[in-house]
């Protein structure tokens, strides 16, 4: 853990934004195409699959060799456990569920900007860190 450089709030925010562009927006477009553009959507039948796909994306990718989402990979980051290892499925699920707590008043995410190791509430709960990959140049 000594040689790791922790990823800060802005880079993590932009990575999340990229994930939203590549995953949520296409799913939302599909939602409109299936349910009809401009129609009032009173059902949530398609929103549940969107939530499931988004959740699986956010849970499974950190357990792969990518060690994070596509957005994190684009910005040269990965998620590790407290020993510096790739996340297990259980650890990734715990981290993802912790993100719902981080959403409360956004404070759990703002913690990233003000903590020494750039950890949000969800990172602290799951004992994980978001760090730069070793082959990425840091300024």
Between CA 47 and CA 124 the distance in angstroms is 29
Residue 2 maps to a domain: no
The answer to whether the CB of 39 falls within 8 A of the CB of 50 is: no
pLDDT at res. 43: 58
Query: Is 122 among the domain residues?
Result: yes
Three state DSSP letters for the chain: CCCCCECCHHHHHHHHHHHHHHHHHHHHHHHHHHHCCCCCCCCCCCHHHHHHHHHHHHHHHHHCCCCCCHHHHHCCEEEEECCCCCCCHHHHHHHHHHHHHHCHHHHHHHHHHHCCCCCCHHHHHHCEEEEECCCCCCC
Domain membership of residue 30 (yes or no) is yes
Domain extent at residue 102: 9-14+22-132
Q: What is the pLDDT of residues 55-106, one digit of tens each?
A: 999 999 999 999 999 999 999 999 999 999 999 999 999 999 999 999 887 8
- pLDDT tens for residues 14-70? 999 999 999 988 988 887 787 665 555 555 555 788 889 999 999 999 999 999 999
In this predicted structure, what is the pLDDT of residue 19? Answer: 96
Residue 1, domain member (yes or no): no
Domain assignment of residue 138, yes or no: no
139 pLDDT tier (thresholds 50, 70, 90): very low
Q: Which pLDDT does position 134 carry in this prediction?
A: 79
pLDDT exceeds 70 at position 109:
yes
Task: Please tell me the predicted confidence (pLDDT) of residue 106.
Answer: 86
**Domain for residue 57, yes or no?**
yes
| Angstrom distance (rounded) from CA 8 to CA 18 | 16
User: Looking at the domain assignment, is residue 46 inside a domain?
Assistant: yes
Report the predicted TM-score, pTM, of the whole model to 2 decimal places.
Answer: 0.85
* Count of structural domains, the chain: 1
């Amino acid at each position: 853990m000594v040689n790791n450089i922790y990823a800060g709030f802005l880079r993590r925010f932009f990575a999340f934004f990229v994930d939203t562009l590549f995953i949520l927006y296409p799913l939302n477009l599909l939602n409109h195409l299936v349910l009809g553009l401009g129609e009032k959507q009173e059902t949530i039948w398609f929103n549940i699959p969107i939530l499931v796909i988004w959740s699986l994306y956010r849970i499974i990718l950190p357990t792969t060799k990518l060690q994070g989402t596509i957005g994190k990979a684009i910005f040269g980051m990965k998620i590790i456990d407290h020993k510096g290892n790739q996340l297990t499925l259980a650890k990734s699920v715990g981290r993802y569920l912790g993100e719902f707590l981080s959403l409360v008043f956004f404070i759990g995410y703002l913690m990233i900007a003000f903590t020494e190791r750039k950890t949000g509430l969800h990172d602290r709960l799951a004992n994980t860190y978001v760090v730069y990959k070793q082959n990425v140049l840091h300024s």
